[in-house]
Structure 1
Amino acid sequence: MGTPPDPIRDTESLRGSRRSKTRLPRRAAVGRRSFASTLKALDELASSGAKVSVRITDLDRGTSVLAGDDFVTLPIAGLGIVPLLIDVAAAFEAGALDPLEIVERTSVEPVTVAGIWQHLKAPALPLSDLAVLTAATGDALAANVLIEKVGLPAVRARIEQMGLTRLALLDRFRDERGPDDAPHVALGSARELAEVFAELVNTNVVSAAVSAQVAEWLSLNHDLSLVASATGLDPFAHENDEHGLLFVNKTGRDAGVRVEAGVLAGPRAGVSYALIVCFDDLSISHRLRAHEAFRTLGTDLMEYVF
């Protein structure tokens, strides 16, 4: 699964305030881990017929730590809300959308695939709260309202503006997909997903304010069951970790699809990462084997940054 690292280029890390002030030499962080366990787990998945795409980038050096089919475009399910949130935050900043505008839940078709708004008594919420629900709980109904407000063409234009060619939000969330619907909510590649998260924490997406807003929303994500399970963080309160761990992530789940992308930074190093696995969800054991590969990656990432 691995490929040689990219040429070294200098990048400025803007995450220093969240790291320990006493850092070990960079060579100690870079040279001591081979991600052998991750490579073995992903090779086993690929041998069983799964499609696997992975990318890990060292944030401070700007080099590829691990890459395997990271250019391949695959379904990314709920991770497609990341470009949506970027466009919403940009619209807030530009004044094109009012973050306090109240929107009725009934303004879009009901959808029950994920989220908690469908279970709340409040029939309407402000757009800013819907962005929080979308990022923190993967709320499909909240995401669909945001899609309705900004429009899919605007999100696609934003993706093009960012120079991304393999990332696309194709459709709203649906309980069932018919023959006239897009086959997937979103598509993407591990390389571009890792790049987006790196640019977010380095405040290079649209503007510093937009980057900070989107990163703040995503830092509230409750799903720490895949790669993030190795961090030991509280799923419901991990924005300010007492051990100086910086962590921002988003997951995506669909039938036979598991995806996670994010940024993980500790005292030794920081990385952006993305892993996409598309597999035959024939049994619980097939699903658990895919999940275990994500957790193995999480363990290797923690060893890399600490």
Structure 2
Amino acid sequence: MPPVPEPAAPEPVGGPVESSRRDAPALRGSARKGPRRLPRRAAAGRRSFTTTLRALDELAASGAKVSVRIDDLDGGSAVLEGDDFITLPVAGLGVVPLLIEVAAAIEAGRVDALEIVDRATVHSASAGGVWQHLKAPALPLADAAVLAASAGDALAANALLQRVGLPAVRSRIEELGLRRTALLDRFRDDRGPDDAPHVALSTAREMAAVFAGLVNSTVVSAGVSAQVAEWLSLNHDLSLVASATGLDPFAHENDRHGLLFVNKTGRSEGVRAEAGVLGGPRAGVAYALIVNFDDLSIAHRLRAHDAFRVLGVELMEYVF
């Protein structure tokens, strides 16, 4: 089936991490009727991500919503894009803008990195993380940032959000030029009818652009970019795209094979998302994959996970 052009959309407002629209064809995948397909777009002379596209096609055909974006860091061109403009729930991946605001507040002197946060004063959230299991009742703000980035700690993320405030994070998102990204709410054990339906929303295009900006030191400032990238480099969740890297989940900052890797994942019921940067001797890429699916069984969940792992294998082949 020939590619269907992406529907016209307003030109994005420029920003430090916002990627520009390109006129390359992109199919609507899960958003159109009939057989669902994702675009076959790849850099000349490089792998075409054929197996990844097949896996994502199958997910879209089963009713899942799929959004993917890969940008080459050297030339800045899009290697792969499929429904990358569609806004979808991203769960814990929405912590990245929060970490950016925290790092910016620390650099500006509005927040002390060693300010003590008392766990008893923070809205509870037991969905994930380790702080709830620790004996320490209080932590420095910077340590809470480490837990939020490395262990997907919902309680630590709530502590950060409570300290800097949701309006400040939303303002930061706007300043970064992210028009389809939003942090809607804190993490909650139960979401009622009066609560936001999701923690965060974003697109694969904007998440890939954020990670490209972090490694290129263009997010707020070089210092803020470096601090957020350092926090995220500690991430323990290497079970999706990152499973193909062979890295140690608990110690992968200085890989002996020269692999640069920074990522963040998001998980909730029917939501899997990952964005990051992968660099090797041949190339470097910023990537994002978001999948929203009917989490009806383990088989449904594993099929979504398999698509992330296939992408990881082909990303490794691209950069090495």
> How high is the TM-score relative to the length of structure 2?
0.87
Conservation of the 8 A alpha-carbon contact between 1:251 and 1:259: yes
Summarize deviations over 1:202-253 as a string: whole Å, max 9, x none.
Answer: 0000000000000000000000000000000000000110000000000000
Distance 1:93 1:3 in 2: 46
Contact 1:57 1:273 in 2 (8 A): yes
CA distance in 1, matches of 2:162, 2:44: 44
Structure 1 residues 193-204: aligned runs within 5 Å:
193-204=207-218
Residue segments in structure 1 that go unaligned for 5+ positions in a row: 9-28
Corresponding letter in the other structure for 1:156: R
Match of residue 234, structure 2, among 211, 220, 244: 220
Alignment of 1:251-266 (within 5 A): 251-266=265-280
- CA distance, structure 2, for counterparts of residue 271 and residue 178 of structure 1: 39
Between the aligned partners of 2:128 and 2:44, the Cα distance in structure 1 is 38
Residue pair 1:105, 1:124 contacting (<8 A) in 2 also: yes
1:241-283 per-residue CA deviation (whole Å, 9 max, x = no partner) reads: 0000000000000000000000000000000000000000011
Q: Within 5 A, what are the aligned runs for 1:284-295? A: 284-295=298-309
Say whether residues 1:44 and 2:58 are aligned partners: yes
Structure 1 residues 61 and 273: alpha-carbon distance in aligned structure 2, compared to 1, 3 A threshold: same
Amino acid in the other structure paired with 2:89: P
**TM (normalized to structure 1)?**
0.91
Offset, 1:32: 2.9
Counting only pairs closer than 5 Å after superposition, residues 1-306 of structure 1 correspond to structure 2 as 6=22, 31-306=45-320
Residue pair 1:3, 1:67 contacting (<8 A) in 2 also: no
Query: Contact between 1:52 and 1:278, CA under 8 Å: does it hold in 2?
Result: yes
- Give the superposition deviation at 1:132: 0.2
| Percent identity of equivalent pairs | 76
SS in 2 for 1:181: coil
Provide the aligned length of Structure 1 versus Structure 2: 286
Which 4+ runs in 1 deviate beyond 4 A?
1-8
The answer to whether the 8 A contact 1:75-1:186 is kept is yes
What root-mean-square deviation, in Å, do the aligned CA atoms of Structure 1 and Structure 2 show? 1.7
CA–CA distance in structure 2, aligned partners of residues 279 and 76 of structure 1? 12
Whole-Å separation in 2 of the counterparts to 1:125 and 1:243: 35
Distance in 2 between the 1:259 and 1:109 partners?
24
Contact (CA 8 Å) 1:30, 1:304: kept in 2 or not?
no
Counterpart of 1:155, as a letter, is V
CA displacement at 1:30 relative to structure 2: 5.2
SS of corresponding position for 2:220: coil
Larger helix share, 1 or 2: 1
The separation in 1 between residues aligned to 2:228 and 2:315, in whole angstroms, is 23
Pairwise CA distance, 1:46: 0.1
Question: Which has the bigger relative contact order, CA under 8 A and spacing at least 6?
Answer: 1
Deviations along 1:84-141, one digit per CA (max 9) or x if unpaired, are 0000000000000000011100111221001000000000000000000000001000
